[in-house]
């Protein structure tokens, strides 16, 4: 069965069309052109602003002209990540989708349900001729996943709506009214490679099979971080031997929990048996430690050709101890909202190669002061060994408003439709609502969506029945939009 035949077909066909268009963050030219052509083909006012956000405006249907204008908002870019053994070119290929029971997933890559389902939903509404709705301003932003660039630079003059429905959360029984802000901490250090004597040996250690996931939404789930696990293995070897790091390559994206890492280490030939024994034994310890969560964890090691250069022993200790000391995972739980992660950090990327030691990490918090605190903690760890540290991409959180009028409308409607209360939550992801709220301080905002699991990883999937639930809920919400003030 094709995804295009799923219900509601008006939504899934647009999701399939969208997934035929490569749309990585920072490379949205093709999807922007796609959306511009889509809006113009419907005869609707279609605008591309100076940063390449796309705005498409549709008048209200008959009888709804006096209702408040609604901004429907989703982001065009998607996280591009694949399994190590998957052969796939994100720059040229469309996503290969699969149906597995009640779920749609992809063949070894991210699916793009984050936030493609939201985009496809809005496209279906814009194209519709029989769905009642107030005036719609569809705001499709760019570069949400790697910097919130589109939201940061949106031009307020193109938007007049007073209610914003953000379609970018991942549980269909939740209404989100707050989110975390974030900041990137990136470090670099130039070191001098030293030659490797010809009587040395080298092994490559590979970590793979971790769940990974969204470094905000999944940070509290106790999943392994490949960069931190590799650091632990090398630190264990340093406790017993004199290994040197020739290379280290871990993680892939700033906002994804690292699933894979590999490192090449060199040492005296007479230490080979000892090192192999140490790696094997410690790997088994790690598998036991993570057996409940990381059931597919694989740690492999093999002898490889001897590299000509490696970091010195002293630099190896310096790098490994620094990586070991960097805070990773939940930093503080919210004292105000039960179960909410307030602040966290994720060591997303580590590269040691050819005289350069670089890292990328992302700190998040719903409280500005604790965001600065954890970011400064990470910064300090790297500055202590002389790294150049740059912090950028700082964006604000979204403060919850428990008295939001649109929240009241949607909560009452949810109870009426499903005979239970929705969960009113703030999330630890970085939604664009926080930034958009700075541009539109009087706009009433809420975020919701269908069940999406393992976003930002090749295990990403979206639930078919949940999309149907979410679609019906959205359509009835649009009929409940109040009159203009």
* 200 and 331 co-located in one domain: yes
Go through the chain and tell me how many residues it has: 485
Q: Is 452 within the bounds of a domain? A: yes
Q: What is the distance of C-alpha 163 from the center of its chain? A: 25
* 20 and 37 co-located in one domain: yes
* 430 and 443 co-located in one domain: yes
**Distances from the Cα of 146 to the Cαs of 246, 359, 362, 428, 431, in angstroms?**
29, 15, 10, 16, 12
* 35 and 114 co-located in one domain: yes
Q: Is 52 within the bounds of a domain? A: yes
Beta bridge partners of 57: 45, 137
Which of 395, 420, 435 is a domain's end point?
A: 395
Among the listed residues 77, 114, 432, 460, the single catalytic one is 77
Output the pLDDT for position 126: 98
CATH of the domain at 165: 3.40.630.10
Among the listed residues 28, 143, 144, 342, the single catalytic one is 144
* 210 and 150 co-located in one domain: no
Q: Taking the alpha carbons of 203, 208, 213, 216 in that order, is the dihedral positive or negative?
A: negative
Beta bridge partners of 163: 70, 444
* 74 and 149 co-located in one domain: yes
> Each residue of 382-441: pLDDT tens digit?
999 999 999 998 988 888 888 999 999 999 999 999 999 999 988 898 889 999 998 999
Q: Is 461 within the bounds of a domain? A: yes
Assess contact for 170 and 451: CB atoms under 8 A.
yes
79: phi then psi, degrees, rounded to nearest 5: -75, 130
Which of 360, 395, 430 is a domain's end point?
A: 395
Assess contact for 129 and 118: CB atoms under 8 A.
no
pTM: 0.77
* 346 and 445 co-located in one domain: no
Residue 287, sorted as left (phi over 0), alpha (psi -120 to 50) or beta, turns out to be alpha
Output the pLDDT for position 268: 96
Q: Is 299 within the bounds of a domain? A: yes
* 204 and 130 co-located in one domain: no
* 162 and 270 co-located in one domain: no
Which of 395, 427, 447 is a domain's end point?
A: 395
The parts of the chain modelled with pLDDT lower than 70 are none
How far apart (Å, rounded) are the C-alpha atoms in residues 431 and 21?
23
CATH of the domain at 189: 3.30.70.360
Nearest to 207 by CA among 300, 114, 269, 272: 300
* 234 and 328 co-located in one domain: yes
Q: Is 232 within the bounds of a domain? A: yes
CA neighbours closer than 13 Å in the CB half-sphere of residue 423? 14
* 19 and 166 co-located in one domain: yes
Known catalytic residue at 77: yes
Q: Is 108 within the bounds of a domain? A: yes
Output the pLDDT for position 185: 98
Output the pLDDT for position 337: 82
Q: Which positions ≥6 away from 254 have C-beta within 8 Å?
A: 146, 184, 348, 349, 360, 361, 362
Q: What is the distance of C-alpha 231 from the center of its chain? A: 23
Residue 117, sorted as left (phi over 0), alpha (psi -120 to 50) or beta, turns out to be alpha
* 93 and 33 co-located in one domain: yes
Output the pLDDT for position 431: 86
Output the pLDDT for position 271: 96
Known catalytic residue at 218: no
Q: Which domain holds residue 434?
A: 3-180+397-479
Output the pLDDT for position 316: 98
Q: Is 339 within the bounds of a domain? A: yes
Number of domains in the chain: 2
Q: Is 485 within the bounds of a domain? A: no
How far apart (Å, rounded) are the C-alpha atoms in residues 10 and 129?
11
């Amino acid at each position: 069965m094709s995804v295009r035949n799923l219900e509601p077909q008006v939504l899934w066909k647009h999701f399939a069309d969208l997934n035929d268009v490569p749309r990585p963050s920072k490379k949205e030219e093709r999807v922007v052109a796609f959306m511009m052509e889509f809006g113009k083909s419907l005869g609707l006012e279609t605008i591309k602003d100076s940063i390449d956000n796309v705005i498409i405006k549709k008048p209200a249907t008959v009888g709804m002209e006096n209702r408040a204008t609604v901004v429907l908002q989703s982001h065009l870019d998607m996280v591009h990540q694949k399994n190590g053994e998957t052969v796939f070119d994100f720059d040229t290929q469309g996503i290969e989708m699969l149906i597995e029971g009640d779920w749609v997933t992809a063949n070894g890559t991210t699916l793009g349900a984050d936030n493609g389902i939201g985009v496809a939903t809005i496209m279906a509404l814009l194209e519709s001729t029989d769905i009642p709705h107030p005036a719609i301003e569809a705001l499709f932003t760019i570069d949400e996943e790697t910097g919130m660039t589109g939201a940061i630079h949106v031009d307020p003059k193109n938007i007049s709506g007073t209610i914003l429905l953000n379609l970018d959360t991942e549980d269909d029984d939740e209404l989100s009214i707050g989110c975390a802000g974030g900041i990137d901490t990136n470090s670099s250090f130039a070191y001098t490679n030293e030659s490797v004597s010809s009587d040395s040996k080298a092994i490559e250690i590979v970590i793979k099979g971790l769940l990974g996931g969204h470094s905000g939404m999944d940070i509290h789930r106790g999943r392994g971080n490949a960069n931190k696990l590799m650091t632990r293995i090398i630190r264990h070897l340093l406790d017993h031997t004199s290994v040197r790091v020739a290379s280290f390559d871990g993680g892939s994206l700033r906002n994804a929990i690292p699933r894979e890492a590999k490192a090449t280490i060199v040492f005296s030939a007479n230490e080979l048996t000892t090192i192999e024994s140490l790696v094997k034994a410690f790997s088994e310890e790690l598998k036991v430690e993570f057996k409940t969560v990381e059931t597919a964890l694989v740690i492999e090691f093999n002898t490889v050709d001897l590299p000509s250069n490696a970091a010195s022993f002293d630099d190896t200790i310096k790098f490994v101890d620094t990586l070991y000391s960097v805070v990773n995972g939940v930093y503080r739980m919210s004292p105000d909202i039960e179960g909410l992660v307030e602040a966290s950090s994720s060591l997303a990327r580590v590269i040691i190669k050819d005289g350069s030691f670089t890292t990328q990490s992302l700190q998040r918090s719903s409280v500005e002061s604790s965001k600065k605190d954890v970011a400064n903690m990470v910064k300090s760890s790297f500055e202590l060994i002389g790294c150049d540290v740059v912090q950028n991409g700082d964006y604000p959180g979204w403060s919850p408003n428990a008295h939001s009028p649109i929240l009241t409308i949607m909560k009452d409607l949810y109870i009426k439709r499903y005979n239970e209360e929705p969960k009113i939550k703030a999330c630890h992801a970085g939604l664009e609502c926080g930034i958009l709220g700075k541009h539109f301080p009087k706009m009433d905002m809420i975020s919701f969506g269908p069940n999406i699991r393992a976003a930002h990883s090749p295990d990403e999937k979206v639930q078919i029945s949940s999309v149907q639930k979410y679609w019906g809920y959205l359509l009835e919400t649009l009929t409940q939009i109040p009159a203009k003030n």
